Amino acid sequence: MEVKGVYIVDRLEHLADCVGISPAFAKAVEFLEKNDLNSLAAGRHEIDGDNCFAIVNDEAELVAPAERKVEVHRAYFDIQIPLSGEETYGLAEFDSAAAGSFDEEKDIGFYDQKVVPVTLKPGEFAVFHPQTCAHAPACSLTGPRKIRKIIIKVKA
């Protein structure tokens, strides 16, 4: 299966190459460059109000990709960065005919779709484009476990 949804996977030092994607991306990059990600407290960190914010998860529960539905966003890009261990993401081009539902208020929908696994290590990031890239985060190919990670939500 080929993934056609728009996503980027790269080394964290190349995230600045993405600043042209959205006006708020520059603020996300600045936040990442100015902060020690491993010492940030768990929870939400304001970067630019609702235009850009970070969520630090100290105990992201990783499970097999088959146990996760894909998620899709309409208003925000997701920048996902594993900090303490490998994390696998199931990727797929969003299929609007897939079984599932979307919560407008929370800007998230969960759907049943087949995915292609992509694994990231600490020091790498993934950007998932809203509306086109369905992704199943917090997966592991080596069994259930917990990791520390950061998710940055960037207004499209």
As for how many domains the chain has, the answer is: 1
Q: What is the mean pLDDT of residues 91-114?
A: 94
Considering the chain, what is the average pLDDT of its residues?
A: 94
Whether the pLDDT of residue 23 is over 90: the answer is no
Give the per-residue pLDDT at 104. 95
pLDDT of 22 > 90? The answer is no
pLDDT tens-digit profile of 32-89? 999 999 999 999 999 999 999 999 999 999 999 989 999 999 999 999 999 999 999 9
137, pLDDT greater than 70: yes
The whole-number pLDDT of residue 4 equals 59
Domain assignment of residue 12, yes or no:
yes
Task: Say if residue 30's pLDDT is above 90.
Answer: yes
Q: Which domain holds residue 89?
A: 7-155
Residue 1 lies in a domain: no
- Dist CA 85 CA 82 (whole Å): 6
Domain membership of residue 135 (yes or no) is yes
For the domain that residue 66 is a member of, what is the CATH number? 2.60.120.370
> For residue 2, is it within any domain?
no
